[in-house]
Amino acid sequence: MRRLAFDAGGAALGVLVAAGAALRFATLDAQSFWRDEASTVLLLRDSLEGVLRGVSEREATPPLYYALAWLWSQVAGTGEVGLRSLSALLGTLTIPVAFAIGARLGGRSAGLLAAALVALNPFLIWFSQEARPYALLVLLTAIATLWWLRAMTEPDRRAPLAWAAAGALALLAHYFAVFLLIPQAALLLRRAGAGPRAALRGCAVVGVAAVALAPLALAQRDTRVDWVGETPLGDRVLDVPKHWVAGPFGNPANIAVAAGALILACGAALAVVRLRRDEARRSVLLAAVALAGVALPLVTVAAGVDYVLDRYLLASLVPLLAVGAHGLAAFRAGRVAAALLACGLLFFTLTWIVDPEFHREDWREVAHRVASSGDETAVITSPEGDAPLRAYLPTAHDAGEAVRVRAVVYVAPWRFGRPRPATPSPPAPEFVLAERAELPTSTLVRFRATAPKPLTPAALGTHTLAPGDPAILLVGVTQPAGARPRRP
């Protein structure tokens, strides 16, 4: 019977891993690269030495992901499918780790439910399809959490060192792993089952990794993440549970459903309290460190360091889902609620997959429209579009002097709920409106002249579709304004 139960559990886990992989891999090319991903693409086009140097100069994260992505791209390329497939693989590997965490908390049923919640979670799926370090952060902190649970409850002296190794790698993937590792280390030093010496050795390894990364972190500490504070703190705090349940944009039409799913998750955590003390102890400890990992950035806000953002707190999501799975799996009504929660997560995932308005800005389509015209074109966009257009248009370059262009394209990202921007005035009298395209995630306006006309960067940047300093790129332009124009 035990053999049959194990086989059934293994088959169920296999189905969940396959489903999670399908949701992550099947639509890798459905969306274009957005700004941060395009920065990754541009970085990876350099040598490995150049990548590591670029991480220090242009990124605000440690180098582990970029080194792995560079090696991966040598085989898979830097297209959407090739580059994002690394994150999809990392996200898929997180599913069996979540099963192991849930099983350690409450047995096979809790493990399968934890795996299901991770496999279907729209927020985790989103970042499993992004060429950034977050999927690696989630996987490594989940592995660290699994070993931490063992180190807390069993006299295994190897467990704290295994936790430390995974934790150090997590720090090398993203500095924000520290939000979860600090409370884990504090509890490990206080009551580790492996004993205080083993716990101290493990914490020392993580401490050494943190100290070694400190110079790089300080060198990257400039204005690269200051934009976080531009959104009110209260809005960002509310976005954390909403986005963790409903996905990165929290579909406004489905907020009520998201709230219901969140209530189910909270009910699962409360159900843990009803278990016997020995059954609940591990979940209580894990819930404490996961919630501390969410609360710690709120504490740093008072010191003027604001890192409160849904994706910056991702290290706590898998542990919280595992705790919820333990509570729901312990009761018959909870298992029904879990099925409803899983369906809700799948619904939200499919919502943003099928609705282009919930996709990343489609700079790929913008680049295609610009390149397919064959005109000497000046593209005026927002700062969000600079890196993506450079990634999709490798010959694009800055407008450093007056140039002759036949077409001028203004483009800006757009999101649901906002009014579409008005059509700007033409950059010069010779240009007439040739196209206005309302794309699902952007607005594009093209002006065209009968022949190339000289324009200065100042004239090009006078009118824009988006607020802020414009980014001006030239495509198909090789001659300065003073050169003899080509025949049309």
Q: What is the DSSP letter of 114?
A: H
484 or 213: which leads in pLDDT:
213
Which residues are CB-neighbours of 304 under 8 A, at least 6 positions away? none
The pLDDT score that the predictor gives to residue 485 is 41
Please tell me which of 84-98, 357-371, 372-386 the model is most confident about, judged by mean pLDDT: 84-98
pLDDT digits (tens, 9 = 90+) for 274-303: 777 777 788 889 999 999 999 999 998 888
pTM to 2 decimal places: 0.93
How many Å apart are CA 57 and CA 216, to the nearest integer? 10
Domains in the chain: boundaries: 2-358, 363-475
Q: How confident is the model at residue 166 (pLDDT cuts 50, 70, 90)?
A: very high
Among 28-37, 64-73, 459-468, the range scoring the smallest mean pLDDT is 459-468
- Of 243-252, 313-322, 414-423, 468-477, the poorest mean pLDDT is in 243-252
| 277 exposure class (CB count in 10 Å sphere: 0-12, 13-18, 19+) | exposed
If one compares 76 and 307, the residue with the highest pLDDT of the two is 76
- Whether 474 has a pLDDT exceeding 70, the answer reads yes
Predicted local confidence at residue 483, as pLDDT: 44
Decide if pLDDT at 220 tops 60: yes
Side chain identity at 118, as an amino acid letter?
V
Question: Residue 358 has what pLDDT?
Answer: 87
Task: Report percent pLDDT > 70 for the chain.
Answer: 90
The residue assigned the tokens 């169920």 is 12
Cβ neighbours for 194, distance < 8 A, ≥ 6 positions apart? 151, 154, 155, 156, 157, 159, 160
Please give the DSSP secondary-structure letter assigned to residue 422: P
Q: Is the pLDDT of residue 255 over 70?
A: no
**pLDDT of res. 488:** 36
Q: Does the pLDDT value for residue 5 go beyond 50?
A: no
Q: What is the pLDDT of residue 231?
A: 85
Q: How crowded is residue 101: how many other Cβ atoms within 10 Å of its Cβ?
A: 29
- Asked if 191 and 153 count as a contact pair (C-beta separation under 8 A), the reply is no
- Token readout for 144 is 């660290």
Helix (H, G, I), strand (E, B) or coil at 242: helix
The answer on pLDDT for 367 being more than 90 is yes
Mean pLDDT score across all residues of the chain: 88
Nearest to 352 by CA among 270, 272, 455, 245: 245
Please state, in angstroms and rounded to a whole number, the distance separating the CA atoms of residues 243 and 227: 19
**End-to-end CA, the chain:** 81
Per-residue pLDDT at 10 exceeds 60: yes
- Number of Cβ within 10 Å of residue 34's Cβ equals 22
Comparing 18-22, 139-143, 412-416, the range with the smallest average pLDDT is: 412-416
CA distance 478 to 168: 49
Neighbours of 275 (CB within 10 A): 18
As a whole number of angstroms, the longest Cα–Cα distance in the chain is 86
What was the pLDDT predicted at 259?
A: 66
Tell me the C-alpha distance between 125 and 248, whole Å: 10
pLDDT given for residue 257 in this prediction: 65
pLDDT band at 125 (very low <50, low <70, confident <90, very high): very high
Query: Cβ of 89: how many Cβ atoms within 10 Å?
Result: 17
